[in-house]
Amino acid sequence: MELNQEQSMEFKECVKRSLSPQANQAWLNSLQLLKITPSKVIVGGVAHKVYRYEIKTNHEPLLKKVLDELYPEKAPFSEKKFEYKIGGIANPKKVIQPEFELKEIPSTEIVEETLPKKIKSPKQIEATISAHSTCLLDSFIPGKRNLLASRACRAVVDMPGVAFNPFIIYGESGAGKTHLLEGINHELLQCKPENKTVQVAAEDFLNDFIVHLRLNKMKEFRDRYRKVDAFLLDDLQALLPSSKCQTELLHTINALRKKKSQIVIACEQAPTQIEGLTSGLRGRLESGLTVDIGIPDDQTRIAILESKAVERGIPLSNELAHFIVQHIKGGIGRMEGVLMRLGVHASLLNEELTIDLAKYALKDWFDESTNNSNPAQSSGGVFADETANKILQRVYVMFQITEEGLLSYRRDRKHSKARQAAVFLLKQLTSLSLSEIGKIVGRNHSTIHATLKKVGQRMSSDDFFLKQMQTFLLEFEEKTDSATNPAQKRSYRF
């Protein structure tokens, strides 16, 4: 059904009345309802790609509700696909941030987006066919901790080179960084098959750099990575041993930004926290958007486990998924390993998947999780466990934080100092290893090692913090004097 101007104005007025007075209505100024078919709705007059993203993300449910009321005979609109055509009225008023500025379309008529007319090259066809469904952004299951990262990836796909450039995703191994990189790469090629993208691991980038440098073929190397529409780099920390390669990456990023190519980089820590990055590269990375993907919470891990079980045809019950998540910790890679084992029993041995079977098939991981569930006990028995608990309770009181705050990724001064104090005191007063301390405070071995270095730096510059630690150690020593031989007293190094 084609719609006339009067019907389009009626639609726009209904939408405007439904919006709150405080809501941004700039996207609505030139909006036009063009056509309604049994399967889709075509909306035109979207002046900018930014507005199209805003409508799809925030206002599409409202448009569907309004259309249900205006055209009940065509309902339900929730089942129809909405298409948005870029175009606008001559000299429209722009109410967007400068960094999102896009070229205006000076036509007074609705101008449809140009569809790709080039035939796919064999290489592009092969890349499209080989892309597995798990590479799609839609298959990434967001939770509370990674919702921002997921939505930012979608914005990058909708507005490559415009929204966030460079775009940095960081988080621990197994959190889903590579999945998001593959999803962005896949969907960029889906949107515009003629685009040229490069997704490369930092180690391969480094090896490629060394080979071309030795062969004196740097022009070929630069053409490979700079003449692209999107550059995606995984595991940035692999470049730390080579300052020359970091400098080359900096120049590559600068060249790509000039031609408005999208840059996406994944790493384990935020650029500000990575020791060994050159100042120039760190500064360039900090100029873009940096998001923490976080560690999936239990509910998200259950959803991921169930989703992957459906993909692989493994009959996993919700009860069994809860049991696995509660008893086996780790990233997404470990969850896939769990499913592989269970899948073997379900398919090759034709066994019903039950909790008892899971306990048997995954007993080594259950044993490990049981041993790691109380890491304070593993090195010092009951004494280490009690000492660690006393230290943590005192830190909570001293810095006025909660256990959840200590384990969180908050970086404000109070939580950072509390985390550093806990790591320092656990190291001084117990025989726990760095890995075991890391499990207590929710960090890995390398982070604990780096934290101890920062504690030394803070003590040399923060006298109050130094006195706090000295006081705590002296109090602890006095309390244990009655149970410890004076000759066995510890000597503390500051």
From edge to edge, which strands make up the β-sheet containing 40-46? 32-36, 40-46, 81-86
pLDDT level of residue 408 (50, 70, 90 thresholds) = confident
Same domain? 340 vs 429: no
CATH of the domain at 448: 1.10.1750.10
CATH number, domain at 70? 3.30.300.180
- Who wins on pLDDT, 280 or 385? 280
pLDDT of residue 405: 81
Task: Answer yes or no: is 120 within a domain.
Answer: no
Q: Which of 277, 292, 307 is the last residue of a domain?
A: 292
Segments forming the whole domain that contains residue 326:
298-372
344 with 444, same domain: the answer is: no
Map tokens 């040399």 to a residue: 460
Position 487 scores a pLDDT of 43
At 125-148, the pLDDT tens digits run 344 334 343 457 666 766 666 777
Both 94 and 133 in a single domain?
A: no
310 and 182, same structural domain?
Answer: no
- 451/402 same-domain check: yes
Look up the CATH number of the domain holding residue 181.
3.40.50.300
Q: What is the pLDDT of residues 142-193, one digit of tens each?
A: 666 677 777 888 888 888 877 788 888 888 776 778 888 888 888 888 888 8
- Residue 493 counted as domain residue: no
Q: Does 239 share its domain with 93?
A: no
* Mean pLDDT, all residues of the chain: 75
The proportion of the chain whose per-residue pLDDT surpasses 90, expressed as a percent, equals 7
R_g of the chain computed on alpha carbons: 28
pLDDT digits (tens, 9 = 90+) for 329-384: 766 677 777 777 777 766 666 667 778 777 777 777 664 544 444 444 444 443 44
Total domains in the chain come to 4
